[in-house]
A and B are shown apart, each in its own frame.
Chain A
Amino acid sequence: MRRSEGYSLLNRFSHIYIEQKALSYPVTDRILKRFPRSVKVVVQHYKDVFNRTHQDFRRQKDSPKLILAVKQEPFLYQGPEICEDFGNKNFYYASCVLNCLYDCDYCYLQGLYASANIVIFVNIEDFFEDVQKRIEYENLYLCISYDTDLLALEGVVPYASKWIEFAGGKQNFNIELRTRSANYGAVKRFTPAEQVVLAWSLSPNEVARRYEKLAPPLETRLKAAKTAVEDGWKVRLCFEPILKIQNWQEIYSAFLKNVFEIIPADRIFDANIGLFRMNREQFKRISRFRTDTDVFAYSMVCSGEGIMSYAEGERMKDFMHRQLIRYLPGEKIYS
């Protein structure tokens, strides 16, 4: 229970909504045992709760609930243009969880979904089966922590571990597990796998503190990434979204210096730079209700593909590239 001005909020996951079909899955069982005090509500279809009209995303973030559901096909989606494919062919993503524990001001999920509640699809084995069928005849590069932060949720549902176990030793298959968490401890026990890239999204402390609510501070993310590098994992550093803040040049150059003082640059698998950008519709929707942050208050332009980004985006990207190339060879930098 959290107290605020004259009211007390229920703890997150005070309620767990369970699709009738999801009741018989072991993952459901495990989650219900993990939260024995939560109120359980059986629902016919997860969308009856998740897609209700007029939900207040911001208020729901005050006390998010869990929704356990069974995903129907498709299990994999083609990676969108707006995301970096790191030179991989057949870039797909899997959303075995929708929504996130963290509450970043700039997060596109608040424009994508009607609800801030977290949906966990309990039929993870069906995702694996689909992957298995595909990789028999083609390569697959799969982002598994998409529309969520899977490693942050490992204490709720151990899907990062399951994916790593599944991917290990597979031919034609690579996964990226991207996170803002410092929860490397949850997967440290695994032998580093050739097929797995652990990717950390990093932001200067000035950004993390102000705009990445509930996510751990930069220092702990760096510590986690450093340990993963030392353990022999392929570690990717994602410098995105680059936000326009007061003195952004100084802040971002000091930040990169800080990062590479801690993490040995020569052992980094690769890195990317991405400006803050968003699909126009989502941007419009979010900026209507996010009157508590300046993220959406800067002058933006819309590209021909309907992507909003800073008017001086190219200049910002060039600057970041020039800074990053001081630490990493050009062929390891994607932007």
Chain B
Amino acid sequence: MIYVVTALPWEARPVIERYNLKRDDNCKFFPMFKGSNMCLIVSGIGKMASAIAAAYLLSGGNAGQDAAIVNIGVCGAVKQQYPIGTPVLIHKITDHETGRDYYSDILLEHPFAEGSVETHNQIVRREYIDSGQSRVCTDFVDMEASGFFQAASRFLSPHQIYVIKIIGDYLEVEEYDKNKITGLIARAMDDIHGFLEHVERYCRHDEPVFSDAEQQQLEDIKKRLRLTVTQGHQLAKLAAKYKLRTGKPLPDFSDIIVDEVKVKAEGRKAFEEIRRILAAE
């Protein structure tokens, strides 16, 4: 599953159109859009808003190892090294107010330029830098990345969290042109789409140790033998080790577990027998 956070609706529009996402009216707190394998939130401007949106997306408990989250939006470029509209994958995020840095793990090939971004609470303008009022040590500035990253890294590993910024200006803009921003992001969508496809594949779960049938078999044993939670964990651990050691499927325990046990002592006895079998090979 890919989660996307954008600050503004016109940053979200190209993503919504590309993936044919549909508005989820059940979400009362944010504009949320969903597709088969994607969920997007429009957070509003600012690092706090972005952090809240990321946490909202990831805290449901469903976002696990096979999830990734990406912040997509425009940024200002401090130098004129790249043309307007260049998509940049951010490898270092500095929070201007706290001075703290955050880093994505960039393990996959990608089509983007790379750079660092500094997240500010206020818009950074060229004249602030020229006058020395603002000091920026990064390549780009924005208003969301640090909050987004900090919140996302409570839930996910750094190879599952990305910030993709599209250069919108060189810090000289007086008024933002919504259509222009939408256009810039729309033009980067082929690259973004290709990259997210790779991310999604890379983050897919490793082969689980147990097949569905084996998982069911273990659940069945736990229930029939009325195992305690601790015993249940022990059973799963022993069974996993058995499979890793022998490379075989789990043995058939049907002659040990006939019916649901009436007293716990019966369960304990059968459990001991299962433990013995699983530890034997």
A residues whose Cβ falls under 8 Å from a Cβ of B = 1, 5-10, 14-15, 17, 39, 41, 43-44, 48-49, 52-56, 59-60, 62-63, 291-294, 296-299
B264 sits at the interface (CB 8 A): no
Query: At the interface with chain A, which of B17-25, B33-41, B180-188, B197-205?
Result: B197-205
Whole-angstrom distance between the alpha carbons of A212 and B250 in the complex?
28
Closest residue of B by beta carbon distance from A39: B114
B101 sits at the interface (CB 8 A): yes
Q: Which of B101, B105, B116, B241 has the most CB of A within 10 A?
A: B105
A-B residue pairs, 8 tightest by C-beta: A7-B198, A8-B109, A297-B241, A297-B244, A6-B201, A63-B107, A56-B157, A294-B244
- Minimum CB–CB distance for A276 against chain B, Å: 14
Instruction: Find out whether the CB atom of A6 lies under 8 angstroms from the CB atom of B101.
Output: no
B108: chain A residues at CB < 8 Å are 7-10, 63
Instruction: Find out whether the CB atom of B91 lies under 8 angstroms from the CB atom of A292.
Output: no
Chain B interface size, as a band, is 20 to 34
> A291 is contacted by which of B91, B159, B240 (Cβ under 8 Å)?
B240
Is chain A's binding surface mostly helix, strand, loop or mixed? loop
1/0 per residue B258-281: CB within 8 Å of A?
Answer: 000000000000000000000100
Is chain B's binding surface mostly helix, strand, loop or mixed? mixed
Closest residue of A by beta carbon distance from B195: A7
B residues whose Cβ falls under 8 Å from a Cβ of A = 91-92, 101, 103, 105-109, 114, 116, 153, 156-159, 197-199, 201-202, 206, 209, 240-242, 244-245, 279
Closest residue of B by beta carbon distance from A43: B101
Instruction: Find out whether the CB atom of B198 lies under 8 angstroms from the CB atom of A6.
Output: yes
**22 A-B pairs with C-beta separation under 8 A:** A1-B109, A6-B201, A7-B202, A8-B108, A10-B109, A39-B106, A44-B101, A48-B103, A49-B103, A52-B153, A53-B153, A55-B158, A56-B157, A59-B107, A59-B157, A59-B159, A60-B107, A291-B240, A291-B244, A292-B206, A294-B244, A298-B241
B159: chain A residues at CB < 8 Å are 56, 59-60
Instruction: Find out whether the CB atom of B106 lies under 8 angstroms from the CB atom of A52.
Output: no
- Minimum CB–CB distance for A151 against chain B, Å: 26
Instruction: Find out whether the CB atom of B197 lies under 8 angstroms from the CB atom of A6.
Output: yes
> B279 is contacted by which of A1, A296, A299 (Cβ under 8 Å)?
A299
Whole-angstrom distance between the alpha carbons of A54 and B241 in the complex?
25
> B245 is contacted by which of A14, A17, A298 (Cβ under 8 Å)?
A298
